[in-house]
Structure 1
Amino acid sequence: MTPLSFLIILAIAIAFLMLMIMKVKMHPVLALFLTSIGLGLALGNNIIGTVNLINSGFGGTLKGIGVTIILGSILAMGIQDTGAATSISNFFTRLFRGKVLELAPALTAFIVSIPVFGDITMVLTAPIASILSKRKKISMSSMSSFIGMGLGLTHGLVPPTPGILAIALMYGADLGLTIFWGTVIAFIAFFGTWLLLRGWAAKEWIEPREDFVEGFEAAKSDSVEDVIIHEPGLPNAFMAMLPVLIPVVLITFASFAKVYMDEGGSSLTFFTSIGDRVIALSIGVVFTVLLGFYKAEKVKQFHTRTTGEKDCKVRQIIFGNWVSRGLTVALLPLLITAMGGAMGGMLKHAPVIKELGAIVAGTSLLPILVPFFTASIIMIAVGSMTTAGLTAAAIILPMLDSLGLSPVAATLSIGCGTMVLSHLNDSGFWIMTQFFNLNTKQGLKYLTIPRAVAGIIGIIALSIFVSMGLI
């Protein structure tokens, strides 16, 4: 098979995947499965070999990210029920002294989306953004632009979010360094995009959803206390951030420990143990559970308000309700990520990939841009950051040596590429438009454009760091 025929087959496969998801309205898991079968047969495998490759890719990806997604989803339920997301938003409101309030929920989304799947973060931050919009008369165009961009950046660039985690594991990239540089690049892209688009995003007035702001009035003054969201029983900001930040800090610290501590020493063993992604996230969940017991009344109030049950014990809510809701939330990203890994596994076993890599390496295109453009093109076609990232990662994997990229650089380049262009075939696009009160045209304007700008700023920053030899 020639590189040209491989590219034609790949283009047909992506077009088929896009058709199944967008036109036929087929579930992404089934669409990915059928596309993987067709791709495997078209690449010269028999049916048994194709199914074996699918099983191998699905199981391998699930093994790498399955427990992580489940733990992250349980953690998200705790953040929701304890009011932690509201506390984090209040912290940023006070930090900016009640000004540039679009940054409060946007930075909340930026932080929360690191261990929590992006769609969940949208649901957590939408009511907060709506209330702040009502209090300070900030258009939902500004709120949606920077919340969607903020959560997209950490969703696409910072493990242990499932998609970027699976890519990092596929490439053997150091997780701590991926988290560190992913956070740095995401931070640069976030504020770069905010500075560029802040005035543009505020030009159109869009009301918040009425059901989110019922009972709330516009602030009577510019006082910070008039702006923040007052709810009884909220945890303080430090406690609210701990469950989210602890896993990230532990994983990152373990990577630096490997560099600066003596190999074989007890200290290194300790820090690499607690920095294991599953153990680190488990510690984050433990802190969430402790926060739940500490804020038991808040947890029970939220449970009563959402379910109607009045006499449920807090331990039943935490160990029963949180887990069952978390598993329900985890199922879809779990299956989509694993099936995306199955399709990616099909591609990376194609022998012609190495020949294609040599051709690409011989062009004048900067090597760091190859994963970026590959992920961007697939993202435009399939609409899922996870699917696009894993598919691009499988295509680029055999090219890494030819391109001369480090695993961390290639991982983050793909992450930046998945920011371009989220549009009508992205399920998250429709969740955001629904919860942030946007019509389709406004969604394309205030969700698609800021993410694309952030992805471009991100790849520019990454290119500079790579050229300096830092990554």
Structure 2
Amino acid sequence: MPLFILACGIFLLFFLIVKVKLNSFLSLVLVAMVVGYAEGLPIIKILPTIQSGLGATLGGLAIVISFGAMLGKLMAESGGAQRIATTLINVFGRKNVKWAVCLTGFVVGIALFYEIGFVLLIPLVFTIAVEAKIPLLEVGIPMAAALSATHGFLPPHPGPTAIAVIYNADIGLTLLYGAILAVPAVIIAGPLLYNTVKDLNPAVPQGLYSPKVFTEEEMPSFLTSISTALIPVILMAVSAVAKLTMSGDSVVQNVLVFLGTPDMAMSISVGIAIFTFGLNRGKSMTEVMKIVEQAVLVIAMILLIVGGGGALKQILIESGVGKYIGALMAGSNLSPLLLAWLIAAVIRISVGSATVAALTTGGIVAPLIAMSGVSPELMVLATGAGSLIVSPPNDPGFWLFKEFFGLTIKETVRTWCALETTISVVGLIGVLAINVFVG
């Protein structure tokens, strides 16, 4: 009965988001109430449980997500992202420009949400395609693949960071494992996948964008741009290495771990970005703060959706559904990693939202971690990989890719959907391979 109620709840979530077009946050909270009541949770405990789940999730994510948006916005408005792209193109040369764009998407994508990164980089993709006289998709597919992989695998992105909080995973270690998965996934789903769709050559759309092209003098240096963008990643990676190689009572380890906590790493990076991308570029503090405020406005609803996923997760835990599923799986030979991937994949195909798929899956399979002893970091990545699969037409990313690249529905399936599925499958294979060595 608990699983039947859960299935009905997930179906209701699909229905509200896909058919009714109800906002994802409202849908998650409403479904959390319904499922909690149906699962026998005392009515007096439903709202406190929702508040607890929402607060606990946002408590660990609000700074990371908000500061990540600020960092990305400052980088975009200063010309730092354009500097990274143009420098890499000059280094790689026009023949290998797709690899340069792929690397640009990977670097820029770490600090930006997928949709923001896509809209930010698409003018550069158009410009590069025209100037280098190469097919649009030759640079467009690698860019999209890099942004998508960072969205699914690498903290401080909201998806993997939120699941890391739910699974109580080490974010630094998740970042290291995620980087190991993301690199081959991007290569296969980006530059290599393009070779299968060379027959498609859409024209650069006219009138779809009005990019601001920065002059040489307006942009910060490449070293400044790339180092500022990578500060949070470097700090978290160093923290993870320190945990693995240093004694727990070491002062150096404690300092590095403190600096590498997501909140601290993002706080440091934003503080530096305010100077390197703002004050040092001739902007006043008032102008810089306006950019920061605009960034927060953009991600306000994303924060609520993430919190709504945390509320549903808490309802599933408090009502005993998680323990019930864990008990059913106790005697099963099915890997928890594969189970997490499958559940996330089904929800992703049904709902469209990768974030909703990941967070809903987190609430369902979280109890399996303690019962099975599986690596919580690999569970984060398995869930993230499953949440990326297919990207059906009920995913805004589907239409974003289709419209900007001027493709038909069939062509979008051949390119975008194939790209997302490739990243998902490569991610699963990578998770299972890493588990052989660390499991």
Which range, TM-score by smaller chain? Answer: over 0.9
Task: Report if aligned partners of 1:144, 1:446 keep a CA contact under 8 Å in 2.
Answer: no
Deviation at 1:230, TM superposition (A): 6.6
Task: Report if aligned partners of 1:144, 1:447 keep a CA contact under 8 Å in 2.
Answer: no
Letter matched to residue 316 of structure 1: T
Partner of 2:231: 246
Deviations 1:220-261 (A, max 9, x none): xxxxxxxx9975432222211122211111112112223333
Letter matched to residue 19 of structure 1: F
Is the counterpart of residue 265 in structure 1 residue 234 in structure 2? no
Query: Which runs of structure 2 are paired with 1:60-459 in the superposition (5 Å)?
Result: 60-194=56-190, 196-211=192-207, 231-293=216-278, 296=281, 314-319=284-289, 321-459=290-428
Tell me the matched-pair count: 439
2:378 and 2:32 mapped to 1: Cα distance? 27
Letter matched to residue 334 of structure 2: L
TM-score, normalised via structure 1 length: 0.87
Unaligned runs of 5+ in 1: 217-227, 298-312
Task: Report if aligned partners of 1:242, 1:284 keep a CA contact under 8 Å in 2.
Answer: no
Unaligned runs of 5+ in 2: none
1:343 and 1:397 mapped to 2: Cα distance? 12
2:124 and 2:59 mapped to 1: Cα distance? 35
Partner of 1:40: 36
Deviations 1:416-448 (A, max 9, x none): 111112122222333333444444443333222
Task: Report if aligned partners of 1:385, 1:419 keep a CA contact under 8 Å in 2.
Answer: yes
Deviations 1:19-74 (A, max 9, x none): 22222221111111211111111211233222122111111111010111111111
Deviation at 1:389, TM superposition (A): 0.8
1:140 and 1:33 mapped to 2: Cα distance? 41
Deviations 1:193-221 (A, max 9, x none): 235412123320112222368899xxxxx
Letter matched to residue 107 of structure 1: L
Task: Report if aligned partners of 2:33, 2:46 keep a CA contact under 8 Å in 1.
Answer: yes
1:182 and 1:214 mapped to 2: Cα distance? 34
- Tell me the SS of whatever aligns to 1:365: coil
Task: Report if aligned partners of 1:429, 1:447 keep a CA contact under 8 Å in 2.
Answer: yes
Letter matched to residue 356 of structure 1: I
1:208 and 1:150 mapped to 2: Cα distance? 21
Measured at CA, do residues 234 and 201 of structure 1 come closer, stay the same or move farther in structure 2, by a change above 3 Å? farther
- Tell me the SS of whatever aligns to 2:94: coil
Deviation at 1:81, TM superposition (A): 0.9
1:462 and 1:195 mapped to 2: Cα distance? 22
2:191 and 2:115 mapped to 1: Cα distance? 25
Deviates more, 1:282-291 or 1:263-272: 263-272
TM-score, normalised via structure 2 length: 0.93
1:196 and 1:366 mapped to 2: Cα distance? 30
Letter matched to residue 433 of structure 1: K
1:214 and 1:350 mapped to 2: Cα distance? 51
Measured at CA, do residues 401 and 276 of structure 1 come closer, stay the same or move farther in structure 2, by a change above 3 Å? closer
Deviations 1:282-318 (A, max 9, x none): 1111221122246625xxxxxxxxxxxxxxx532211
